[in-house]
């Protein structure tokens, strides 16, 4: 039996990842505020990971699982606007959701699945914004950069521990047709100078499908021997 825990499964890429794994026979635990796919092997865990203390409620005990997977997918752009104009509350909640909760979940996952004879994987959903700053996205860019470095550090620790059964990946999925893109298009140029780029991509039908990207991401998880790096951009694969 293969078990996966995925954050943010109510829509977008998280839902597509859950559906892809379910179609392959995995048991999936979806961690989100709202319900995800309806499937006999899917269990919804209703938590708001933008709130302090929520991540500490997760139990990753693998039971009889032969392989386990954690996907840190949930993320938010939060309030789009320049630093100096933002709400403290939305900054705090965005950083908790995008970086603090994935760090806590990764720590608990590694701790509670120690001794598993099979493969363990962590997939962090990164962003091109982790490497390229966008005005109006300070919280998002910095938290995604932190998520990348979290994955790099865990990977180094596993290597030093001679742990060949655990792999960590941080993958930027490209620009997807998700609710986050609708949030971007609803912003204004005063707080986000790159707005026209994203509205044009949507108008010209150049946003990637979450379902297609999910298939590529699961390909990495299922064939880790083919992917020797820790960090990827899906558009380069």
Asked whether the beta carbons of 235 and 216 are under 8 A apart, the reply is no
Rounded CA separation 51/55 (Å): 8
Residue 146 vs residues 65, 72, 111, 126, 131: alpha-carbon distances, Å: 30, 13, 21, 10, 10
Token pair for residue 116? 């598993």
Catalytic residues, which ones?
A: 140
Asked whether the beta carbons of 173 and 62 are under 8 A apart, the reply is no
Task: Identify the helix (H) or strand (E) that includes residue 121.
Answer: strand 120-125
Task: Identify the helix (H) or strand (E) that includes residue 27.
Answer: strand 27-32
């Amino acid at each position: 039996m293969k078990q996966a825990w995925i954050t943010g499964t109510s829509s977008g890429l998280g839902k597509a990842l859950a559906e892809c794994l379910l179609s392959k026979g995995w048991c999936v635990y979806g961690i989100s505020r709202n319900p995800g796919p309806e499937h006999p092997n899917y269990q919804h865990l209703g938590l708001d990971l933008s709130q302090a203390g929520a991540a500490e409620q997760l139990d990753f005990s693998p039971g009889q699982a032969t392989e386990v997977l954690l996907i840190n997918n949930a993320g938010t752009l939060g309030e789009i606007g320049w630093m100096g104009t933002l709400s403290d509350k939305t900054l705090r909640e965005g950083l908790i959701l995008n970086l603090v909760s994935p760090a806590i979940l990764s720590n608990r996952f590694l701790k509670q699945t120690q001794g598993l004879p099979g493969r363990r994987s962590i997939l962090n959903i990164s962003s091109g914004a982790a490497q390229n700053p966008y005005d109006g996205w300070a919280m998002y860019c910095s938290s995604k950069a932190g998520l990348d470095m979290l994955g790099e550090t865990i990977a180094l620790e596993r290597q030093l521990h001679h742990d060949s059964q655990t792999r960590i990946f941080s993958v930027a999925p490209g620009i997807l047709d998700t609710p986050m893109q609708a949030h971007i298009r609803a912003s204004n140029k005063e707080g986000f100078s790159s707005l026209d780029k994203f509205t044009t991509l949507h108008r010209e039908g150049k946003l990637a499908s979450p379902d297609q990207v999910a298939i590529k991401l699961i390909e990495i998880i299922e064939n880790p021997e083919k992917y020797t790096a820790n960090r990827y951009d899906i558009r380069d694969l």
